[in-house]
Amino acid sequence: MGILQALLVALFIAAIAFDQSFVDASISKSMYVNWGAQHTAISGDDLQLVLDQTSGSGAQSKRAFLFGSLEMLIKLVPGNSAGTVTAYYLSSSTMNIRDEIDFEFLGNISGQPYIIHTNIYIHGIGSKEQQFHPWFDPTADFHNYTIHWNPTEVVWYVDSLPIRVFRNYENEGIAYPNKQGMRVYTSLWNADNWATRGGLVKIDWNSAPFIARLHNFRARACKWNGPVSISQCAFKTPANWWTSPTYSQLGYAKMGQMKWVRDHYMIYDYCRDTTKTLNGQMPPECFKPQF
C-alpha cells in the first residue's frame, strides 16, 4: 500500500476513533430525570434525588455506552436511611436479555453501616451479588463510585480502590456483557421489604424527605451506535484507551488494595453462598481467578 493510501486509512481510523471515544461531562448535559420530577432537581453538574411518601426519583443518561469508565460522586442519604436504596448502575434495558452492572447502597438506622451491594446481569441472568460494608461514612461526604468496563473485565471502584472484578471467560463458555450498549441510571426508592437487615427494619417516614446527592458524572466511554459498535468499541486503538493492556488486568498494587477491602469489608459473596447453589454447583466463574 502506498503512503497516500496508508495515510488515508490512518485518517479514517482516527476519524472513527475520535467519533466514538467520548467524554460526557456534566449531569445536566448528559442525563435527564425519568422518575419523580416533581421533587427532583438537576442543576449544572449536580443531581438531587428525593424520596418521600409520594414518590422516589431517578435519572438516566441520554446516551448508551459500550465499554469505558462511568464515574459518579455520591453522598448518600444521611441519618436514619433504613429501608431506602440508592442505586447507580448500567443497564441495557432489554427485558429478558438485559445486561446490567450495579452499585446499590442499602440504608440503615443512624449510626449503623450502609451496605454497598454489587451485582451483574448478563443476558438476563443475575444473582451474582457481592456486598461490602463501607470503610468510611458514605453520608458525610461525596465518594467516587466508578464502573470500569472493557472487553476483558468489569471493575467496581470505590474511591479508586477496586472492590470487585468480573473477568471475561467467554472462551470457556461463561457469558460476558459485550454485545449490548448500556445507559447509566440512578435512583432512590423505598425497598424496605428487603434492604435493611433483610427487610426487618422499615422506613421511618418521620425522617423523610430522604435526599441523596450526586455530582461530577463523567462518562469516559465508547458511544453505542447500535450493533456496529460491538467491534468498533472493542477495537484496539489508542483512542479506545480501555482496550490498552494496562486495563486488561489489575496491577499488583490494585490487587493488594482489592484484597484488603475484601478481607476486611466483604460481608456477602454469591460464590460462597451454599444456600443458593444450582444443583450443588457454584456458577462456573466462581472457580476462575477474578482480578
Ligand X SMILES: *[C@@H]1O[C@H](CO)[C@@H](O)[C@H](O)[C@H]1NC(C)=O
Contact 103, 89 (CB under 8 A): yes
Q: Please, which residue, 196 or 207, has the CB nearer to ligand X?
A: 196
Query: Which of the stretches 6-14, 108-116, 177-185, 250-258 binds ligand X when contact is defined by CB under 6 A?
Result: 108-116
Distance from C-alpha of 223 to C-alpha of 183, rounded to nearest angstrom: 10
260: enclosing H helix or E strand: helix 252-265
Q: Please, which residue, 121 or 132, has the CB nearer to ligand X?
A: 132
Could you say which of 79, 113, 124, 126 contacts ligand X (CB under 6 A)? 113
Could you say which of 26, 34, 94, 144 contacts ligand X (CB under 6 A)? 144
- Site size toward ligand X (CB under 6 A) is 15
Distance from C-alpha of 205 to C-alpha of 52, rounded to nearest angstrom: 7
Q: Looking only at residues 199 through 228 of this chain, which bind ligand X when binding is defined by CB under 6 A?
A: 216
DSSP string, 8-56: HHHHHHHHHHHHHEEEEE-HHHHEEEEE-GGG-EEETTEEEEEE-SS--
Instruction: Cell numbers for 289, please give them.
Output: 481467578
Distance from C-alpha of 106 to C-alpha of 188, rounded to nearest angstrom: 10
Query: Does position 157 bind ligand X by CB under 6 A?
Result: yes
Query: Does position 84 bind ligand X by CB under 6 A?
Result: no
Query: Least distance from C-beta 126 to ligand X, angstroms?
Result: 19
60: enclosing H helix or E strand: strand 57-75
DSSP state of 92: -
Query: Least distance from C-beta 249 to ligand X, angstroms?
Result: 15
Query: Does position 197 bind ligand X by CB under 6 A?
Result: yes
Instruction: Cell numbers for 236, please give them.
Output: 484496539
Query: Does position 150 bind ligand X by CB under 6 A?
Result: no
Query: Does position 196 bind ligand X by CB under 6 A?
Result: yes
Query: Does position 188 bind ligand X by CB under 6 A?
Result: no
Contact 272, 52 (CB under 8 A): no
Query: Which are the catalytic amino acids?
Result: 100, 104
Could you say which of 57, 108, 152, 168 contacts ligand X (CB under 6 A)? 108
Query: Does position 248 bind ligand X by CB under 6 A?
Result: no
User: What are the residues binding ligand X (CB under 6 A)?
Assistant: 69, 71, 106, 108, 112-113, 115, 144, 146, 157, 160, 195-197, 216
